[in-house]
Amino acid sequence: MKNYNSVLIIALAATLGGCASQAAKGPVGIVDTARLLQYWPQFQNDNNQFSVDMAAIDASKAPEAQKSRERIALQIKYARVQKDLTDQVRGATAQVAHDKSLQLVLTREFVGFGGTDITPDVEKVLKITEASPSASP
């Protein structure tokens, strides 16, 4: 679900800004979170399951009040999933930032140019490969 992608990218962007140790001295790292999400099977599976679950609620013949409660429960469940995914990316990014002595890490989506692209290194930590199937458009 495209909305879920946007929310996760914003959450990742908000959390990556302070990933590197304050004591570290070095250049700025850049992570392409859209690329991570495109090739990360765990994200794709969770995102697809969210879409399937939401469609099942919408298609059910339950009363609207019950559907509303189910939607809220699903949103709460996927907020936890989103936090877990964000924590994994943040941890992997912090590890790479520490290893490369980076002072700051930003997301590619908010940087026009410059910085050291550490996306491939973060992908290695998260075990993401380009061979992973891409998310459905």
Q: What is the pLDDT along the chain (137 residues), one digit of tens a residue?
A: 455 555 555 555 555 544 433 333 458 999 999 999 999 999 999 999 999 999 999 999 999 999 999 999 999 999 999 999 999 999 999 999 999 999 999 998 888 788 899 999 999 999 998 754 444 43
pLDDT at 3: 52
Instruction: List the domain boundaries for the chain.
Output: 2-126
Q: pTM for the complete prediction? A: 0.71
In the DSSP assignment, the letter for residue 61 is -
Instruction: Reduce the DSSP state of residue 116 to 3 states and report it.
Output: strand
Two tokens, residue 86:
């964000």
Q: How many CA atoms lie within 13 A of 21 on its CB side?
A: 11
Instruction: Reduce the DSSP state of residue 19 to 3 states and report it.
Output: coil
Q: Does domain 2-126 have CATH number 1.10.10.10?
A: no
pLDDT at 18: 46
Give the DSSP H/E element, type plus range, for residue 105.
strand 104-107
State the Cα–Cα distance between residues 108 and 112, nearest whole angstrom: 8
